Amino acid sequence: MRRFAICFPICLVLAALAACGGIPLRSIPRLMSLQETLLEANPAEFMLAIQADARMTPPAGAVPVMHIAIRPREAGAFEALDKALPMRLTVSSGNANAKTLAPAPARRRWLLYSFPPESQTELVRIQRYFKRIQAEQRGKGGGSISVGIAQDGVAVKDPALADTRWESWLQTSTREGFFELWSGSVAELLRQAQTQRN
Average pLDDT over residues 85-112: 84
pLDDT in tens, 17-51: 333 456 555 556 666 677 667 778 899 999 999 99
How far out from the chain centre does Cα 128 lie?
19
Average pLDDT over residues 79-107: 84
pLDDT for res 28: 60
- CA 91, 94, 97 angle in degrees (round to 5)? 55
pLDDT for res 6: 36
pLDDT in tens, 165-180: 999 999 998 888 898 8
Helices (H), 117-162: 117-136
Residue 95 predicted with pLDDT over 70: no
Q: pTM for this structure?
A: 0.82
- Looking at the DSSP bridge assignments, the partners of residue 158 are none
Average pLDDT over residues 127-137: 87
pLDDT for res 48: 93
pLDDT for res 3: 39
Calculate the average pLDDT of the chain: 80
Residue 83 predicted with pLDDT over 90: yes
Average pLDDT over residues 113-120: 97
pLDDT in tens, 8-19: 322 222 233 333
Q: What is the CA radius of gyration of the chain?
A: 17
> What separation, in Å, do the N-terminal and C-terminal C-alpha atoms of the chain show?
12
For the purposes of burial, counting CB atoms within 10 Å of the CB of 75, is it exposed (0-12), middle (13-18) or buried (19 or more)? exposed
